[in-house]
Amino acid sequence: MKELRIVLVGSVALLLLFGGEALFSQGVPQSATAVCRDGTYSFNSHRKNTCARHGGVSSWLPFADTLRLQEDAANLLHSARTLRCEFPSGALVDLSDSTLQRHEGDGSEATFDAIDRVHARARLIGNIGTNDVRLIVQDGSLTFIELPLAGRGETGMVNVTVVFAQFRPDTREFFAVDSRHTLVPLSHNRQPARVRPVAEQYYGVCRVL
């Protein structure tokens, strides 16, 4: 296997690179995850096969803990059958208002169950009932798309909830965002209500039940 040597003037640093494993004469590489038994460093993002060609792992480095948490979060999210989500903060904007002034929203809560990745669907249990939702599965997230219920096509809500495969610090809760796009009847000075386009977005977390 080819070997690359780089001499940095003034720092007396020698870098040996062997197919993804590296040895530094000074300091530990910031993104290294493990020290191999032959003294090289590994940058593998998964523990499997780390240092496989270098005698195995001698010790794990702190950066490996970060990668392990990311991997744990992804595994937990993509195996979940039920998620409970809470969105305590956010805002709404009446798009017909030329100033696009933001107003504090009431927040929301929702539960997604019967998560079916094969058929790309799930069920939403919300404050006003249940509804089937579409599901988009990506490595770093699950996205739930709620379409209007039958009979509410003109003013019904399109709701998009994205759950990220990343834990909030010191918890097992996932970061999440909830976006709504709807036509809402809004009245002014007791005048007949006029249907207006409203966009809402709320921020919070989801956890596996």
Show pLDDT as tens, one digit a residue, over the chain (209 residues).
333 333 333 332 333 333 444 444 446 787 788 899 999 999 887 788 899 999 999 988 887 777 778 888 999 999 999 999 999 999 989 898 889 999 888 888 999 999 999 999 999 998 778 889 999 999 999 999 998 765 554 556 788 999 999 999 889 999 999 998 888 776 555 555 677 888 999 999 999 99
Q: Indicate if 17 and 103 belong to the same structural domain.
A: no
Tell me whether residue 95 is in a domain. yes
Instruction: Evaluate the CA torsion angle 39, 40, 41, 44 in order and state its sign.
Output: negative
Tell me whether residue 26 is in a domain. yes
Q: Indicate if 185 and 100 belong to the same structural domain.
A: yes
The partner residues of 14 in beta bridges, in order of sequence, read 7
Number of domain units in the chain: 2
Q: Is the pTM of this model over 0.95?
A: no
Q: Indicate if 113 and 171 belong to the same structural domain.
A: yes
* Parent domain of 20: 4-60
CA dist 74 and 140 (Å) reads 7
CA dist 95 and 99 (Å) reads 9
Q: Indicate if 37 and 92 belong to the same structural domain.
A: no
Q: Indicate if 91 and 185 belong to the same structural domain.
A: yes
Scored b (16 or more CB within 10 A) or e, 120-143 reads eebbbeeeeeebebebeeeeebbe
Q: Indicate if 112 and 199 belong to the same structural domain.
A: yes
Beta-strand relationship, 174-186 and 34-36:
unpaired
Tell me whether residue 127 is in a domain. yes
Q: Indicate if 168 and 134 belong to the same structural domain.
A: yes
Tell me whether residue 73 is in a domain. no
CA dist 174 and 206 (Å) reads 5
Q: Indicate if 45 and 92 belong to the same structural domain.
A: no
Q: What is the CATH number of the domain that holds 142?
A: 2.40.128
